[in-house]
Structures are given as structure tokens and as C-alpha cells.
Amino acid sequence: MWLETCGDDLTPRPALAGDSEADVAIVGAGFTGLWTGYYLSRLAPELRIVVLEAEIAGFGASGRNGGWCSALFPSSWDKVAALPGSSRGQALALAAAMRDTVDEVGRVVAAEGIDAQLVKGGTIALARNTVQVVRAREEVHHDQAWGGRSAWLGPEAARERLAATGTLGATYTPDCAALHPGRLVRGLARVVEQAPAVTIHEQTRVLGLEPGRVLTSHGTVRARQVVRATEGYTPGIAGLGRAIAPVYSLVIATEPLSDAVWDVIGLRERETFTDLRHLIIYGQRTADGRLVFGGRGAPYHFGSRVRPGFDRDERVFARLRQSLVELFPVLQSARITHSWGGPLGVPRDWCASVGLDQTTGIGWAGGYVGDGVSTTNLAGRTLADLLLDRDTALIRLPWVGHRSRQWEPEPLRWLGTNVGLRAMTLADAEESLTGRPSLLARAMGPLVGG
């Protein structure tokens, strides 16, 4: 839906026309690659920058997500503080940088005239049973301890923002904006290529990365520095098959809803929303009055395979619609006009990272686990500083230079990832039956970013 309604005809830019040279070659024209090109070209406009994309800008997760630009980071701040060489102070700095990033995206959108339909309405996370109420209160306390601005909303205040069934309360944070990711990624691509020394080549598949050069389906690009910004598509590059596990997230969107329906549901400030179940769901009210609703549940595919056919799973779409109607019965007769999906990148320790190997000149960023709309911006600014050898506060944040260990070989990767996905569903069922926090979720917590 996002690319269909982005206001761009999506005509591919010219592919690489043969061997080429550049100062910096960026692999991937999603948010990470484009933000890197954006900040790099403004700090050093003389650099020759080439962006290489297998499909079109925004084809991957950047054009398929839920449209949250949030301060969320895939790992807990406790886990970030425990990284080698990190500390509580550095984790606090990263948490603050993530909050600032939400505003930085808004600043660039306004400055560059990108009509991303961005509204900073915050996020509400519903608690719909007594176990979730306890977890919600704990999350508010934990977030505040790390400098966050979360607050607990009682039942009436929560329902005033979002009138979902069974609501017993909610957490609320102002640090999130709803936006149209298709408009953002396509608008950002147009802005980036306006720089005189930047070229975006689409329909150019990268086959391998080496120090000083990128091997593509249309020729070789020689470059002093290379940036890998491929997220869930990383396993398709030679030698990187176990770096990231591509896990699919699927999304549905309703037809534009009437004002009367929205009066029942709420989200008057275009808050994004989720709830405190273990199997992740997410939603937003779009600028044109649709309800976009997504979640996990699709299986991981053996061998980290990524195929167009995996973008759709009718069983998952049906479950998403069922969950949506359960939350908002007023949508029982609402028409679902769009359904889609795509892979996101999950590192073995669920900790996103950004860095530059000074020896090889190869930089990277990714492993966002679905929290990439904002994190990519921070990654792009950080990569620009690393590539230009700028001594800034960003390059001292604890995710810089972090390297997640590789995923296990198959079939262990397939077995473990799908067991983990299934465990989150079972954990929600366990809590519904017992009325107590899930022992299964507690056991899985260290493996999924806790």
C-alpha cells in the first residue's frame, strides 16, 4: 500500500552501465543506505557516491513496514549496557540519541519538503489482562529509569486515546511519530540524488563485497569505502549467509474509515499502537483514514531464503484481521484493501549495530528487528561520521562497532528461530490460562533481546 500511494510512478532508475569508480559505494537504497548518502553528501559534497539497489529504492523493509518512527531499540537498555566496553552511561546516551532521532527525521522531512505525512502522536501500548497490567507498569518504571518519558494510563485515560475491547490500562510515550514510509523513502531518494556527486543505480544486484570493490550483475564498482545496508536481504550476498536471519512480518490495511468509525476507535492524535502480548502487533491511523495493522507469526524459511512468494501468507493475514476485529468490533464489516509482507533482519543477539572496518574500508548497519524507520537515520548519521573520520559523540555510542555472532548453521537455525516464534504465541496462551507471567516467555527472554 505504501508504494502504491507514495505519489511516485516507481519507474526504475538506470542500472549500472558497466565497471565504475567512486569514493563511496553504498549497497542498498532503503532507509539505511539513503540516510547515509544524505548526510555524507552534505558533509562532504565533493565525494563521488554510488548507491546500488537490486530492485527500486524502498523495495524492501523501508517500503513495507508499519510506519512507526519511534525511539525503540531492539535490545533492552540493560543488555546494551552489558555489551563489551559499554556502560550504563553509554546506554543512556544511546537511549537519548534514539529519542532525538525521532525529531531529527521530522526536521529533515520539513527542511527538504518531503510529504511523509508525519505526525508525532506518540505510542499507546494496551494492557488487556491483569498479567499485562503488571508488565505495563514494570515497563513504565524501567523506561523512566533509562531516561524515557513513558507514563501509565488508567482504564479511562487509555480508552480515551484508544477504545479497544478489554482495556484495563496502557502505557504511553510521546517519542514516536506515525508516517507514510513510502513517501519518506521515495522522497529521500529524490533528495539524495539531487546532490551533484551522488548517483543511484536501481535494478543492479550486488553479488559480493570485497575491500575496495563491489561485484554486481552489471559490472564492478571500485570504491575506497563500501557500505553494506541490506538488512533482511543480507544472506543473499556471498559469505554473509549466517549474518542475519530474515524473519517475515505481515501487514493489512483497511479501506479509509468514516469519521463516525474513528470516533469509536480513537487515535485522534494519530498515535501508533500495540499491546502487551508477547507476539508483536502494531498499528497506526494513516493520514487518509485507514487503519494499518501488522504483526509477526509468519515462519522463518529454511536456509534464510527470501522469495517473493513468502511476502504473502493467507493464514497470517486472516489471523491479523481476526485480532483487529477482536480489538475493534466496529471494524467487523470494514474492507481490507491491502495485505503485504516482507523480511526484516534479526541478528543472533537481537542487537542492532553500525560500524566501519578501518582495515577493509567496509562499513555496515542493520539488525533492526523491525525498529528501523528511526534507527536507520541514526545509523546513517553515524556512518557518515565514521566514513569521514569525524570525532563525534555518535561514534562513541555503544552499538558502534558491535558485532553479533553468526547464526547457527541449518537445520539448527530453522529449528531455533521457528521454535522462538511459536513460543511467543504459546506464552500469550499460557498467560490467558494461568493469569500469571509466562514461564516460557521468561525462558525465551535472553534469546529475543531481553
pLDDT tens digits, one per residue of 257-276: 999 999 999 999 999 999 99
Between CA 1 and CA 284 the distance in angstroms is 14
Same domain flag for 239 and 253: no
Query: How do residues 313-355 score in pLDDT, each as one tens digit?
Result: 999 999 999 999 999 999 999 999 999 999 999 999 999 999 9
Same domain flag for 75 and 193: yes
- 81: Cβ contacts below 8 Å, ≥ 6 apart: 87, 88, 90, 91, 398
pLDDT, the chain, mean: 95
Same domain flag for 325 and 268: yes
Q: How many domains does the chain have?
A: 2
Record the pTM. 0.96
Does the residue 113 lie in any domain?
no
Q: Cα–Cα distances in Å, from 377 out to 23, 212, 267?
A: 21, 25, 26
Same domain flag for 155 and 197: no
Does the residue 282 lie in any domain?
yes
Does the residue 11 lie in any domain?
no
Does the residue 10 lie in any domain?
no
Between CA 46 and CA 48 the distance in angstroms is 7
Specify the pLDDT at position 297. 83
Residue ranges in the chain whose pLDDT is less than 50: none
Same domain flag for 24 and 169: no
Nearest to 296 by CA among 151, 420, 206: 420
Same domain flag for 87 and 33: yes
Q: Cα–Cα distances in Å, from 165 out to 99, 126, 162, 275, 311?
A: 30, 10, 9, 12, 30
Same domain flag for 232 and 127: no
Given a contact cutoff of 8 angstroms between Cβ atoms, the answer to whether 168 and 132 are in contact is: yes
DSSP character at residue 247 = E
CATH at residue 297: 3.30.9.10
| H/E segment holding residue 93 | helix 88-112
Q: Helix-strand-coil percent breakdown of the chain, rounded to 5?
A: 40, 25, 40
396, 419, 434 — which closes off a domain? 396
Does the residue 36 lie in any domain?
yes
Same domain flag for 328 and 420: yes
Query: How do residues 60-87 score in pLDDT, each as one tens digit?
Result: 999 999 999 999 999 999 999 999 999 9
Between CA 129 and CA 332 the distance in angstroms is 23
CATH at residue 208: 3.50.50.60
Does the residue 114 lie in any domain?
no
Same domain flag for 206 and 257: no
Range of the domain at 285: 119-178+246-344+410-447
The angle that helices 31-43 and 372-387 make with each other, rounded to 10 degrees, is: 40
Burial class (CB in 10 A: 0-12, 13-18, 19+), 257: buried
Q: Sign of the C-alpha dihedral, residues 448, 238, 197, 182?
A: negative
Does the residue 435 lie in any domain?
yes
Specify the pLDDT at position 446. 58
Does the residue 78 lie in any domain?
yes
Same domain flag for 367 and 269: no
Same domain flag for 297 and 317: yes
280 three-class SS? coil
Given a contact cutoff of 8 angstroms between Cβ atoms, the answer to whether 279 and 430 are in contact is: no
Same domain flag for 263 and 384: no
Strands 198-201 and 206-210: unpaired
Specify the pLDDT at position 447. 55
Q: Residue 63 CB: number of other CB atoms within 10 A? A: 26
